[in-house]
Amino acid sequence: MERPVLLPGDIAHQEIQAQYVALSYAVSYIGSVTTLELLHRRTGSRGWYNWSLLVGSAISMGSIAIWGMHFIGNRAIILDYGVDSHQLMYNSSFTALSFFLPIIVLLSAYMFIGTNEDVSKTRVSIGGTTAGLAVVLMHYLGQFGISNYTSVYKIAFVVGSVIIALAASNVALLIFFVSRAQWAGTFWKRICCGFVLAGAVSGMHWLATVGTSYRLRNAELPKSTLDRKQTVIVVGSLCVFTCTCLLAYAAILGAKTRQMISKVRKVTISAVVFDPEGRLMVTTSGSLPTEVITDTLNSLLDQEFTKEHPVFLWFYRVSHSWAGVKDFVSGMQQHLRTTDIKKLGAEDQSALNLLFREMLCVAAKKLSEQLRQPLEQLGFLYDEILHTNIGPRRQILAPIEGSDVEKLRKVTNGKGQTLFVYRQVTKEDVARLQSHGYRFASPKVTIEVVARSLQLNKDELMEHLRSMRESTLAESILEPGIHIGCFAARANIEGGFDVLVQNLQPNLIPCVQLPVRSLNDDTKAVMQSLQGLSMTNVLRALEIKLAACSANQRPFLEDMRVTVLALRKAYPDTFWLDSIFSSTPVYMPCRTANVEVEQSTAQMFLFRIVVPIHQRELSDGIRIAPFDFFNAQQRTFSTSRDHEVLARQIHSEFSGFTERNLRSPKPALLSQKLRGILWPLSKRPTTAERTLVDNPFANIMISQAVDVHSAKTSLDVHELDTLQVAGAAVVVREVEEPTWAEEYFHLLMSKPRSP
């Protein structure tokens, strides 16, 4: 049977090839998944990172998922029984316009939706509706660009195609953004959303195609036309490029996942950053910014790394005064590069501890660079070390001989440890961090992803995050005035001593402030009369004094009695009743607006007691803390002068590394003999200059800003060896005085503990 001749004005016979239908859906799906992945990676509305993702998502959706799908789909339409000259041809101008129009519309839609973690259904609906309209506009603009046929539409199919585009786009974007905000938007969920979004484009296209007929035109074809083979080549090239990018991205993502798993088997440091609303900063994959400190901890330490370890105590203090170490990190880094740890034995533990301190500082510096902020703004070190859940459980070893020190190095083998530095940032910092690719979300919705990435228990990590958040709100420090407190020490079955501290403010002992600003001679006499009495007897003595006192004495006696009762009520442990009162005040740091004020201390009168080692149950208001760590905390208050002391100690210990690095010769391009000929004699260094270059100690080192008026400062002057040069180096070193906790602990251990 011969085919009828197609004349201008006739409706062409139409067939559909199934393989191109499937191919068009695949093209749309690739573009949709790419779009959702790029939108998932957005963290804010500022910065080239977020803008590149925004533009990329609009291009992938507009050019591939919509435009590419349309022209691949139209390739499935066979007109006039397959006559080559009667197949669809396109006007190049309208084809180009149909390419850019959906990209522009989608760009505005995604900008309107935004990146907030709190999903606005109204904004998502408006954005989804705009995206659906972009699909419809591109389709009919592309149809309008057909050069050799006029499209004839059925109204019912046009309306139906619009409804499908709008409904499916809204559903896909709503599911995507809700799952993203709940941090349930794993990759497989984005794949499912991609099916729905691609269905919106394909469903709209094919319903409209079924309701479209093509009438052959009379006019001649314009010169600038594209046939269907050319359009397939263009679309195919775009899809191949997109698939390549997706595969590369998947490989990078897999590598990052493996890298994170590898990290948690090592000793790492992670940044915990909160915004003013308490939201937690995470990467787009839901993990905390993390840097590796070392994977050779067992070859560095001869004891388990805990919060009582001297290196941890040192690093804890450094984190409260980063300015003292920032200038020496580069020297530390160079020293680590040039040191072979394997050559250091167990007898070189002081050298190993120094290397580990350098590793901590270098990792902190790398973490600050990862966040693109100065080291001084990195935050404070958290007072707990968390162990990852992977690897075998920690071994319990029996006592071993000194010759078996290497066995002790395996205490933490196979188990990672994580340190945290925490801080709260301003709204300006939040915007800056978002522009660098970080997101802020509620810890409740991100905790599962964060805990999984760190291999930590979710509930345990949540408690630590809550503690860090509370610590960022205000410094835990005494208010100026008179305080009544309790100092209790208890022997630790593993060695050393613990102290009892406040549960919510673990750097403070249990105490209550007395509503008196200062003491006069009469009130001091009252305090002296209570010397050596137990808490029970103090309350009884105050009651007796109240019954026989004058009107002038009554207010202070009543305040003192109420304060002791408040202390007893806040910490209802029975052993406090036997604690002994000391009438000698202890001076402690307190909150003040001016750190230069000499009287920036609070007076505290203490009840003291040694708690029996078998006393295990404590009230909710207190907990135990290692004495060494608690003592280190007393040097980290913002008003403490010990920050200056630590800075001078760091300078004395590490400045040599920095100086040697600055003096380290660079590879010479010319031989020494040739440089001697070319270099003018006038520019050659003198003997004295060579001495200064060759010897780092051939100068006078003087510590800066030494306060000779401070009662807490003592200066020792040491004369160093000449180190093969004629001269001496004088080092002025500031020595730290014992803290109040050290002095009172020794007093508690040395004096009788009964009246």
- What residue ranges do the domains of the chain occupy? 14-256, 264-393+406-473, 482-634+742-750, 642-738
Asked if 403 contacts 449 with a C-beta cutoff of 8 angstroms, the reply is no
- Calculate the CA dihedral of residues 743, 745, 747, 753 and round it to 10 degrees: 160
Helices (H), 393-436: 405-408, 427-435
What confidence tier does 699 reach under pLDDT thresholds 50, 70, 90? Answer: very low
HSE-up of 687 (CA within 13 Å, CB side)? 2
pLDDT mean over 51-70: 82
CA atoms within 13 A on the CB side of 171: 16
DSSP 8-state code for residue 12: P
Among the residue ranges 250-254, 273-277, 673-677, the one predicted with the least confidence is 673-677
Residue with tokens 């590149």: 52
Tokens of 176: 């995507």
From CA 72, how far away is CA 84, in angstroms rounded? 17
Q: Work out the mean pLDDT of the chain and round it to a whole number.
A: 77
Tell me the pLDDT band of 407, cut-offs 50, 70 and 90. Answer: very low
Closest CA to 331 of 350, 313, 352, 358: 358
At how many degrees (to 10) do helices 155-181 and 187-210 cross?
A: 170
Going along 245-347, which residue ranges are E strands?
267-274, 280-283, 290-294
Phi and psi torsions of 401, nearest 5°: -75, 160
- Tokens in use for 651? 């300078």
First-to-final CA distance of the chain: 123
- Most confident stretch, 2-11, 24-33, 104-113: 24-33
- The residue among 480, 499, 269, 283 whose CA lies nearest residue 385 is 269
Mean per-residue pLDDT, 457-467: 91
- Give residue 216's Cα distance to chain centre: 64
Ranges 297-301, 597-601, 620-624, 745-749: which has the least confidence: 597-601
Which among 328, 338, 420, 317 has a CA at the least distance from the CA of 365?
Answer: 328
Q: Which residues contact 573 (CB under 8 A, 6 or more apart)?
A: 618, 619, 622
CA 206 to CA 349: how far, in whole Å? 75
Highest mean pLDDT among 67-76, 163-172, 605-614: 605-614
Q: Cα(346)–Cα(335) distance, rounded to whole angstroms?
A: 20
Q: Is the pLDDT of residue 242 over 70?
A: no
pLDDT for residue 180 is more than 50: yes
CA 616, chain centre distance (Å): 36
The residue among 79, 88, 82 whose CA lies nearest residue 14 is: 79
Residue type, 516: V
Distances (CA, A) of 686 to 671, 691, 693: 20, 9, 11
pLDDT for 664 beyond 60: no
Do 418 and 456 meet the contact criterion of CB atoms below 8 Å apart? yes
Q: What is the model's pLDDT at position 76?
A: 86
Burial of 358 (0-12, 13-18, 19+ CB in 10 A): buried
* More confidently predicted of 123 and 186: 123
Gap between the Cα atoms of 526 and 605, Å rounded: 12
Residue 378 has a pLDDT of 94
Q: pLDDT tier at 349 (50, 70, 90 boundaries)?
A: confident
Name the DSSP class of 741: H
> Which pLDDT band, with edges at 50, 70 and 90, does 299 fall under?
low
Model pLDDT, residue 103: 85
* Choice between 537 and 652, residue whose per-residue pLDDT is larger: 537
Amino acid 510: pLDDT: 95
User: Quick one: pLDDT at residue 727?
Assistant: 37
pLDDT of residue 595: 47
Higher-pLDDT residue of 591, 259: 591
- Tokens matching residue 80: 């006039």
CA separation, residue 99 to residues 67, 107, 110, 196, 391 (Å): 6, 13, 18, 22, 54
Strand-pairing partners, residue 484, are: 512, 605
C-alpha closest to that of 551 among 525, 522, 520, 530: 522
* Tens digit of each residue's pLDDT (9 = 90 or more) over 609-623: 999 888 778 888 899
Torsion of CA 743, 745, 750, 755, to 10 degrees: 110
CATH number of 264-393+406-473: 3.90.79
- In angstroms, the CA 477 to CA 452 distance is 35
- H or E segment at 259? helix 228-263
Residue closest to 420 by CA, chosen among 379, 366, 462: 379
Assign 511 a pLDDT band (cuts: 50, 70, 90).
very high
Q: What is the mean pLDDT of residues 322-326?
A: 92
Which helix (H) or strand (E) segment holds residue 489: the answer is strand 482-491
**Inter-CA distances, 242 with 54, 57, 235, 239, Å:** 16, 12, 11, 5
**Which stretch of 139-153, 171-185, 212-226 has the lowest confidence by average pLDDT?**
171-185
The mean pLDDT of 349-358, rounded to a whole number, is 87
Q: What is the mean pLDDT of residues 140-151?
A: 87
Average pLDDT over residues 165-193: 71
Least confident of 153-167, 338-352, 475-489: 338-352
Which two structure tokens, joined as six digits, stand for 709? 């008026």
* Residue of 513, 623, 516 lying closest to 566 (CA atoms): 513
Residues 6+ apart with CB under 8 A from 286: 183, 446, 449, 450, 453
Asked whether the whole model's pTM tops 0.75, one would answer no
**Rounded-to-integer distance, Cα 385 and Cα 353, Å:** 18
Spell out the residues 6+ positions from residue 310 whose beta carbon is closer than 8 angstroms to its own: 353
Tokens of 414: 């196979």
- In the chain, pLDDT over 90 holds for what percent of residues? 28
Residue 648: how many CA atoms within 13 Å on its side-chain side?
21
Residues comprising the chain, all counted: 755
Residue 494 has pLDDT above 50, yes or no: yes
User: What are the start-end ranges of the H helices in 341-426?
Assistant: 349-370, 405-408
Rounded Cα distance between 371 and 391, Å, is: 30
Tokens of residue 734, six digits: 């500031």
- Name residue 735's amino acid: V
**Each residue's pLDDT tens digit, 409-430:** 333 444 688 999 999 999 999 9
Q: Which backbone phi and psi does 304 adopt, to 5 degrees?
A: -65, 140
What pLDDT was estimated at residue 45?
Answer: 62
DSSP string, 378-401: S-EEPS--EEPS-SSPPP-PPP--
Backbone angles phi, psi at 66, to 5 degrees: -105, -60
pLDDT of residue 401: 36
Q: At 109, list the tokens.
A: 């839609």
Let me know: does 412 contact 305? Beta carbons within 8 Å.
yes
Contact partners, residue 43, CB within 8 Å, separation at least 6: 49, 50, 115, 284, 434, 435, 437, 438, 439
pLDDT band at 255 (very low <50, low <70, confident <90, very high): low
- Following DSSP, what letter does each residue of 204-242 receive, concatenated? HHHHHHHTEEEEEPSSPPPSSEEEHHHHHHHHHHHHHHH
* Residue 288 structure tokens: 């905390």
Higher pLDDT, 468 or 394: 468
Residue 33 has which token pair? 């998944």
CA angle 611, 617, 623 (to 5 degrees): 75
Radius of gyration, alpha carbons of the chain? 37
The pLDDT score that the predictor gives to residue 570 is 93
Q: Per the structure block, which two tokens stand in for 471?
A: 């610590």
Q: Could you give the CA distance from residue 609 to residue 749 in angstroms, rounded to a whole number? A: 10
Helices (H) and strands (E) in the chain, counts: 23, 22
Dmax (CA) for the chain in angstroms is: 129
